Structure formats: C-alpha cells, structure tokens
Amino acid sequence: MIEFYRHKLANGLRILVHPDNTTPMATVNLLYDVGARDEDPDKTGFAHLFEHLMFGGSRNIQSYDEPVQMVGGENNAWTSNDFTNYYVNLPANNIETAFWLESDRMLELNFTPGNLEVQRKVVIEEFKQRYLNQPYGDIALLIRPLAYKVHPYSWPTIGKDISHIENATLDDVKNFFYRHYAPNNAVLAVAGNVVPDEVFRLAEKWFSGIPSRQVPHRKLPVEPVQTEMRELTVKRKVPADVLQLCFHIGKRNDPDFFVTDLLSDVLSNGPSSRLYQKLVKDEQLFSDVNAYISGDMDPGLFTVSGRVMPGVSVEVAETAIWRELSDIAGAGPGERELQKVKNKVESNLVFAETSSLNKAMNLAIYELMGDAAEINREIEHYRAVTAQHIREAAASTFRRENCSILRYLAENGENS
C-alpha cells in the first residue's frame, strides 16, 4: 500500500507526495503528458530531442547537472510514445535544489542556436549508434510502420527519419516546448523522507509563478482494425535470423490489460515459461524467445520475438511459434502455471515499493492515466485474472489477420 497526499496549484500542476521515513533520500519526479505520439508526422523525434534539451540549461541556470551533483544527487530522464519523465534522487534535506532546477526549466529553456546544435548532434549520434549501426537496431523502424498505418505509434521515440532532427529549427523547438511543457500538462511526484505540507509549500514557492499554457487537445487518428496478416522480410548483416510477430491489443487503461500482461508472462517470463521450455530447451529452435506487451496509453501491441538457432529454417521456427500460440488459445494455462506467474508479479510489485524512484514515478503515471489511487489496486486486478480470461485473451489476440510479422534474416546465414 502506497500512502500519498495530493495538492494542486492554481496553474494546474498536480502534486503527489509519498512520505517514507525509512530512508534519508528523496525522489523528485516530474512527468509531462507528452510523448512521440504528440509529434507532427513530418517532424518526429522532438519529444526525445527535448529530453536532451532539458539538460542543456534553462532561463536562469546554465548547468543542470552540476547543482544536482553538488548536493549529492543524481538525475536522469526517459521518453516514451506517451510520456516524458524527469527525476532527481538526492538527500531529502537538499530537496529544494530539485524544485529550483525543475521549476526554472519548466518556465523556459535556454533557447539558443548553439544549445540546439549541441543536443541535435547528440541525438543524431544516438540514432546512428542504436538504430542504424547496431545489429538488429532498425527492427523498431521496420515493425512499427508495418503494424500501424495511421496512428503515430507508427514511429519509435527516436523518430521516423534522422532528417527530421537534422532539419529541426529553433522555432520548431520553441513551439513544441510552449505547447507541451506546462504546469497544467505535468504531474510532480515526490517520495522519500519528506513532510507533505513542506513539499506543498516548496511547490507553491517554486512553481506557482509559472503560468499555465494552452496545451492542445489530443486528437489522434484511430488505428483501423487490421483485417489481414502483414509481412515484411529483410536481409541484414547480422549473426542470426530473428522473427518478430506483433498483434494488436487494447490500451493500458482497458480492464483486460492485466489479462494480457499475465498472458505474456505465462508465455515467456523466465526459464520455466512455455516458450522457453518448448522452443528453446526442448526443441532447440531458438536461442532466446520473448513475449511482452507495450502497455501504451492508446491501443498497443503484443510482441513475440525470437532469435532462430543456426541450421533451423525460419519456416520451421515460425510454425512452432504459431503452434504454441494456438495451444494457449485453445486450452489456456493450468491453474498452477497461472498462479506461479501471479506470485512472481506480486513479488515484483512489492519489491518495487522499496524504491522511492519507482513509487514517485508510478504514482505520477497512474495520476496521468486517471487516478493515482489505482496503483494500490494493481495486485487485486492481477489476482482476479482466471485461466479462462487468459484463454479468451489469447484466442482473440493470436489471430493471423491481427498479426504483423517481420522476418529479419541474416545475409548468407545458415538458416536463410
């Protein structure tokens, strides 16, 4: 049970506080309701670019990292298709430093051509290293536009094309900031050795002077129902063939999210899972195989991915995957099998509550999803899932007409 307290500023900033006197530390987590899905299709990668720009200095503070380090803290950030998240871990008695820093860069960044050029180069280099010049790096660039035809989930957070970042102007950057980086488009969550009233006082002191902004109403195109299998085969200079099958599922707030999450665990969470036991250990068709859900705010994907063993044909490997998916859709999991993955999920949730960062971050995410109190009902939702629920979810998900499959083949490989 995560106890928390709420407050809201006049400018729309929501504040959540979880006091925990078992630690001398605190986490200040600021979650913005903007991600890659909010980008213009011709100007992608901006949400991720902003993650970098936010560390390049703000209106009154030229260096973000140095003040954090001077008070014994650390900081980082991440971008998804739905959100952009920033956090600072630091000794609780130095917490005001984080409020000072975060409020100044929410107010206004250091918008200069030089700063943009520095961060542009960093992002371009990341694009090249992680997506273009790394084995299997371009899988996300291939599978997303295969699975999505109209929704902006059709590109990864890095963007569609490197040219979008190369051509970004200072006006583009400013417009994106003032449209999305606003107190009324964010949640501030604080967890650790803090007193709620003191956190609320600091929030009023440092954030109340920032004006609310005209955040655009999100009107995203709805992805049409997929009616036939989509297939793409590519050849690359990689050591082994990879198969990736993506199936459309619901969104994170749907009631059956917990069902599909447990379904993915039954299939591939650990060495005793179905896909590992059958396809890796017994039949030795794959060196590794995974199943996971995206957990997106809009309807997402259930992905099954495996690296094919040398000497095994892709056709044989693919047939084996479909057989296992058909089996779980036909019979569902055994009661003991399901209880085992439930126990593992519950254990992970309890363990996550030992981290102030996890608590602050998850509280903020649940608040943007609709209600932070839902975080304390997670375990109940997982416990309520039955084997029949799993079977029905598998049957409705693992249909060939609902599948986009990428065959990523090794050039001149043994299995190609």
Instruction: Band the pLDDT of 413: cuts 50, 70, 90.
Output: low
Q: How far apart are the first and last CA of the chain?
A: 51
3-class DSSP state for residue 365?
Answer: helix
Q: What is the number of other CB atoms lying within 10 angstroms of the CB of residue 351?
A: 10
Tokens of 147: 């699975």
Does residue 416 carry a pLDDT above 50? no
β-bridge pairing 84-91 and 74-79: antiparallel
Rounded CA separation 242/43 (Å): 30
Rounded CA separation 307/327 (Å): 21
Rounded CA separation 265/277 (Å): 13
Across residues 376-392, what is the average pLDDT? 97
Residue-wise pLDDT tens digits, 73-82: 999 999 999 9
Beta bridge partners of 403: 247
| Helices and strands in the chain, H and E counts | 15, 11
DSSP state of 244: E
Instruction: Band the pLDDT of 414: cuts 50, 70, 90.
Output: low
Across residues 368-376, what is the average pLDDT? 96
Residue-wise pLDDT tens digits, 114-149: 999 999 999 999 999 999 999 999 999 999 999 999
Does residue 1 carry a pLDDT above 90? no
The phi, psi pair for 398, rounded to 5°, reads -85, 60
Instruction: Band the pLDDT of 57: cuts 50, 70, 90.
Output: confident
Does residue 324 carry a pLDDT above 60? yes
Across residues 53-60, what is the average pLDDT? 90
Tokens of 328: 């779980």
Per DSSP (E only), the strands in 240-331 are 242-248, 286-293, 301-308
DSSP state of 132: I
Highest mean pLDDT among 56-70, 184-198, 345-359: 184-198
**Region label for 396, one of left (φ > 0), alpha (ψ between -120 and 50) or beta (otherwise):** alpha
Amino acid of residue 317: A
Q: Which residues of 70-82 are buried (b: 16+ CB within 10 A; e: fewer)?
A: eeebebebebbbb
Q: In which element (H, E) is residue 87 found?
A: strand 84-91
Does residue 410 carry a pLDDT above 90? yes
Half-sphere CA count of 226, side-chain side, radius 13 A? 28
Residue-wise pLDDT tens digits, 2-49: 999 999 999 999 999 999 999 999 999 999 999 999 999 999 999 999
Rounded CA separation 206/264 (Å): 43
Hunting for tokens 């050795």 — which residue is that?
193
Does residue 89 carry a pLDDT above 50? yes
Rounded CA separation 51/108 (Å): 14
Across residues 285-299, what is the average pLDDT? 97
Q: What is the pLDDT of residue 415?
A: 52
Q: What is the pLDDT of residue 412?
A: 75
Rounded CA separation 174/108 (Å): 9
β-bridge pairing 230-236 and 403-410: parallel
